[in-house]
Structures are given as structure tokens and as C-alpha cells.
Amino acid sequence: MQQHILVTGGAGYIGAHTLVELINAGYRVTAIDTLERSEFRIIEGVERIISKKIDFHQIDCLDAVALNSVFERNTFSSVIHFAAYKSVNESVEKPLRYYKNNVGSLMTLLEVMKRNKIRDLIFSSSCTVYGQPDQIPVDESAPFKKAESPYGQTKQICEQILENVISEGFRIVSLRYFNPIGAHPSAEIGELPIGSPNNLVPYVTQTAAGVREKLVVFGNDYDTPDGSCIRDFIHVSDVAIAHVKALEFLINRTEASLFDAFNLGTGVGVSVLELVNKFIQVTGMKLPYIIGPRRPGDVEKVFANPQRINQAFGWRTKYTLEESLLHAWNWEKKIRNR
């Protein structure tokens, strides 16, 4: 019997790429999204890639009645939960909004899953749960330190909730993303920021396309080789494929309940200035940038030790940093009709 997967936040950046990989792997999917922070054209892009229609519903995960109606009309085997706000910077400015949406939507989803006897969940977490780790690269044994932002704390709280609910029979894998970048190689889907981008690469590509006057690099006085923050940049399609592997991992486990967490990164630290210069090199585009002050909520340096996920899932990253930046640029050119 074909497994049927519910994907929340399915029109989002990582959600849409995961829809593609799930369908390519033979799963049936239903996607829900509020479209508050995305557009339906992303779903249409997925449909062009896979040459079939997506079962899509415009629903808020905070709306228990609407969410339950989707469960009652379908027989889901698992849920992948992407739906959440994700801007570190915005969360500093609007913490209440982040707690209500990110924690509240998970609580509502878990209650609806329990009511409908669906127990398997892949959760979209973040490396921000570690705060500023004592040891780099960071592995899954690292303790949760004080989060540098309300966004990071919502992910810490959500993971703590998930650890607790296994007593009610849930089986959960939490994937702690580092920094997804890039776009689908077809350029049919990619990151689509609403308003000014909060993530680095869309700001880079928009600046190169002339949408933004200049890029601001937030801080060059960190304790790093070139003074800019260090991150673990991973192609979004590699992230998407890891979700398919996580589903296989859960399906093959025999435990009645479990919680496990995995770092989802490349294991390579790249500084912001290194990425900027790599983009210029790969695309040949001019990229005006200035150095600005540090940004509240930013961690100085963090990159993954991905050994556990490599071994448990048999998963490895496929795309290079150069390919990731080129795919992001091709997507930017497409949405600017160039």
C-alpha cells in the first residue's frame, strides 16, 4: 500500500522541495500551507517538476477544526511538519507572534494526530537549539544552551514537547537544519522571501539582480578567520532528500514510541564573506556590499558534525557550495524574468 504523507508548510522553501523528493520516491502527498509567507506559484512549480497535480489545502495549523477535516478525509501514514515562522531577526522583534505560531501550531497538530491515531512525525528543527555551542563542529550530544533568539527558543521548546509526547505513543524524528540554500536544479522552485529577505543567499541574489542596492554583512569583528559569521550552508534539495530518508528510518523501526534527533548539515563551515566571494566567482556578477553592525540573535559560528545522520540514514550531501549558489542565481533570474 502506498504511504500517504501530510506535509505542513508544503508551499514553503524546504517543504516544496521535499514534496518533489517524496513524489520521486513513490509516496503520495497532501500539502497544507497558509500561503501567508509563500505563494501558490511554488506549488505550481512543484507540479511542473513532477508532471502531476498536488493535493493542496490552504489551511492554518493553528486551526484545529480545518486541520482535523483534512485528517478525516485521508488516511495518512506520517506527517512532516515544516509550518513555522523562521526569521531569527523578526523573532527578536515579535517574540509573542513566534511563540504562538511555532509552539501553538505543533501543539494543535499533535492533538489532531492523536485524535486520528497518526503517530509518525518528522519535525523541522534547527541548529539554533544549540545556542552558541562550546565545541565546533557540533554533534547531537551538545546540550541546549541559552537560545540566541526567540525563534531558537521556540525550536527548543518544540523539541522538549516532542520528547515528552512519546509517552503517548508518538514516533518522532527531529531534523536540526543548519543553513539551507540554493534552489531546485530545474529553477522551477526556490526560496521566495516575502518582503526584505532575512536569509543571506536571497539577499545576495536580489542584490546581484539589482532589486537591492547593496548587501549588508552583519559584523566583521567576530572571532573567526575573516571576522564574519561562520555557517554550514547545505543545498535545499539535499535537505529535502534527508526527509525522505528520515521517513524510511521511521518506517523500518519497530519501537512503539521513539524520539531521535539528527543534525542536518554538510560538516563544512563557510564564512559569510567567503560565500559572498564564492558567489561573485561562480556567477561573474558584481555584488556591492558593506559591513554593518552585528545583528541581534546571530550566533558567531556553528557547523555540523553530520556523522550520525550519514550512518543512520545512509545519506550524504550531493551538491557543492558552487552548485548551490548557481542554482539560487538561476532561480533568481527566472523570477525576475531574465
Torsion sign, CA atoms 164, 167, 170, 173: positive
Residue 23: pLDDT above 70? yes
Query: Does some domain include residue 167?
Result: yes
Tell me if 5 sits within 8 A of 18, measured CB to CB.
no
Query: Does some domain include residue 282?
Result: no
**Residues with catalytic function:** 151
pLDDT of residue 338: 55
Can you name the residues that pair with 264 across neighbouring β-strands?
177
Residue range 228-284, pLDDT digits in tens: 999 999 999 999 999 999 999 999 999 999 999 999 999 999 999 999 999 999 999
Query: Does some domain include residue 222?
Result: no
Query: Does some domain include residue 43?
Result: yes
- Least-confidence region, from 50-59, 125-134, 176-185, 241-250: 125-134
Residue range 71-121, pLDDT digits in tens: 999 999 999 999 999 988 899 999 999 999 999 999 999 999 999 999 999
In three-state secondary structure terms, 303 is: coil
| Beta strands across the sheet bearing 4-8 | 55-58, 28-33, 4-8, 78-81, 120-126, 171-177, 258-264
Tell me if 80 sits within 8 A of 8, measured CB to CB.
yes
Instruction: State the total domains in the chain.
Output: 1
Query: Does some domain include residue 107?
Result: yes
Residue 141 Rama label (left phi>0; alpha psi -120 to 50; beta)? alpha
Residue 195: pLDDT above 90? no
Residue range 159-183, pLDDT digits in tens: 999 999 999 999 999 999 999 999 9
Q: What domain range includes position 44?
A: 4-184+234-265+305-317
Query: Does some domain include residue 142?
Result: yes
pLDDT of residue 193: 87
Query: Does some domain include residue 150?
Result: yes
CATH number at residue 54: 3.40.50.720
Query: Does some domain include residue 162?
Result: yes
Res. 2 pLDDT band, cuts 50 70 90: confident
Q: How far apart are CA 231 and CA 143, in angstroms?
A: 19
336 CB contacts (<8 Å, ≥6 apart)? 209, 211
